Amino acid sequence: MSVNGAILFAIPIALLIVRSLRRFLDLPKRLPGWDKFLNSIWIPAIVLFLIAWAFKLKTSQLDETYFLFVFGVVVAVLVQVRDYRPARTLLLAIAPYVLYSAIELLLAVTDWDLLKRYDGFFDNSRGFAVIWLITFILIARNQKKHLEKERLQREEEEKAKQLIEAQNAELERLVAERTATLTQQAEELRDALTELRAMQAQLVQAEKMASLGELTAGIAHEIQNPLNFVTNFSDVSAELVSELEEEQQRPERDPGLEAELLDDLKQNLQKITHHGQRAASIVRGMLEHSRASTGERQPTEINNLADEYLRLAYHGLRAKDKTFNATLATDFDPAVGPIEVVSQDLGRVLLNLFTNAFYAVQKRKEACPDAGYTPTVTVSTHRNTATEVEIRVCDNGLGIPEAVRAKIFQPFFTTKPTGEGTGLGLSLSYDIITKGHGGTLTVKTQEGEGTEFIITLPA
């Protein structure tokens, strides 16, 4: 091959080397200036070719000079990107070959005989440089693959990190929205709770006034009896006084008759006092029931309290329905005696239980008017132990359906039709007995046969 042909043959090899280098080092991104310069690496070869053709030069070292120039440019590029580990490896790979080529070219120009004399040594050196070059090129290639794998892994991790950050941001946004919603709902619930408490206080007052109305109706009937007795005995006593005055004006007085008249007058006055106290007791009970409870426990005769409120509840119902009649049965244990309770609160509980019992038997009477049914409400007391007293309120009314038994002590739950109950009576009664007195309030019922409420109180 001629010298000029060798130079032209070196151009595609140089372009191949440069193309591989550009791709391997990603020069368009790393060194765009050098990348453009490498696109023109063929120009020096053409210049050498034209010089050799123009001056008829036959120098055989022109292709080697061109290759040395190409490798010099490669070394310069590798120095620019020496921070890239495969580039440093390539620089280490090409250094022996460039050094050998430079020495060989220098000897070829200055001392050709020395080059011929040590031709074997230089051939071995060239072989070693080529093997070194190929070996480190392979190492650089493996390093690039490893770095590329690490880069891809980092990119995947970065993508995953960005995805997690995006998800976290979305979650934070959703949490913020949910928190704002929950805060708003909490505010609404707080306002609703405030309104509910106000409404509950109104309903409690309404329940209290309803029981007071029933109590007042019963009192109006109950208080009439002692007032009638007071009026009747007052009239009789006035007649006895008139007879006594007439007897005292007679010339012949009868001491025995006067003594008898005085004795009758004394008995009448005692009866007037008794029935007056009875009326005063009823009025006092009404006043205690109407005003707010002080929460102070006082010794109270449970038997008397239960009997009084039983009759007041009965007469209260009869005041609203004159056709209603029921049998009142009592079984009071004398051993109960007085125990310390808040009489106003316990009276409200008993009045509520009695009212419910009369309501139940009335509804059953209305449901079966011709079945020979006798409405009956029974109240009994019993001292179970030295530290426990029991009050039972039993009726033979409709009973409580099994589906609603677990709800009867819940606030605002009622089995009565709309307008006939607030659903607070049993709830308040349960709280008064359990929380106010440390007792229990339980129920036994059989649908269609009756209901029994059992109160236990610490004695």
Q: Which amino acid is at 308?
A: E
What SS3 string covers the chain?
A: CCHHHHHHHHHHHHHHHHHHHHHHHCHHHHCHHHHHHHCCCHHHHHHHHHHHHHCCCCCCCHHHHHHHHHHHHHHHHHHHCCCCHHHHHHHHHHHHHHHHHHHHHHHHHHCHHHHHHCHHHHHHHHHHHHHHHHHHHHHHHHHHHHHHHHHHHHHHHHHHHHHHHHHHHHHHHHHHHHHHHHHHHHHHHHHHHHHHHHHHHHHHHHHHHHHHHHHHHHHHHHCHHHHHHHHHHHHHHHHHHHHHHHHHHCCCCCHHHHHHHHHHHHHHHHHHHHHHHHHHHHHHHHHHHHCCCCCCCEEEEHHHHHHHHHHHHHHHHHHHCCCCCCEEEEECCCCCCEEEECHHHHHHHHHHHHHHHHHHHHHHHHHCCCCCCCCEEEEEEEEEECCEEEEEEEECCCCCCHHHHHHCCCCCCCCCCCCCCCCCHHHHHHHHHHHHCCCEEEEEEECCCEEEEEEEEEC
Tokens 């009994």 map to which residue? Answer: 380
How many other CB atoms are there within 10 angstroms of residue 193's CB atom? 11
Q: Nearest to residue 84, comparing CAs of 140, 36, 156, 138?
A: 140
Tokens 């009956």 map to which residue? Answer: 376
Domain boundary assignment for the chain: 3-164, 210-458
pLDDT at residue 149 in the model: 86
Is 104 within 8 Å of 121 (Cβ atoms)?
Answer: no
Is 61 within 8 Å of 43 (Cβ atoms)?
Answer: no
pLDDT at residue 79 in the model: 81
Is 115 within 8 Å of 108 (Cβ atoms)?
Answer: yes
Residue 5, token pair as written in the block: 């042909």
Distance CA 45, CA 413 (A): 105
Written as tens digits, the pLDDT of the chain (459 aa) is: 444 455 555 567 667 777 777 777 777 777 777 777 777 766 766 666 666 555 554 445 565 666 677 777 777 877 887 877 877 877 777 777 777 777 776 666 566 566 566 666 666 777 777 788 788 778 878 878 888 888 888 889 899 999 999 999 999 999 999 999 988 988 998 888 888 877 766 766 665 555 555 556 555 656 666 777 677 767 777 777 777 777 677 777 777 776 777 777 778 777 778 767 766 666 655 555 454 455 678 888 889 888 888 888 888 777 777 788 888 999 998 888 888 888 888 888 888 888 888 888 888 888 877 667 888 999 999 988 778 899 999 999 888 887 777 777 776 556 665 445 555 677 788 888 888 888 998 889 888 888 999 999 987
Rounded (5°) CA angle 298-342-347: 125
pLDDT at residue 3 in the model: 45
295: left (phi over 0), alpha (psi -120 to 50) or beta: left
Burial class (CB in 10 A: 0-12, 13-18, 19+), 250: exposed
Q: What are the residues facing 389 on neighbouring strands?
A: 383, 457
Residue 349, token pair as written in the block: 């509980």
pLDDT at residue 2 in the model: 47
How many other CB atoms are there within 10 angstroms of residue 338's CB atom? 14
Q: Fold for 210-458, please state it.
A: Heat Shock Protein 90 (3.30.565)
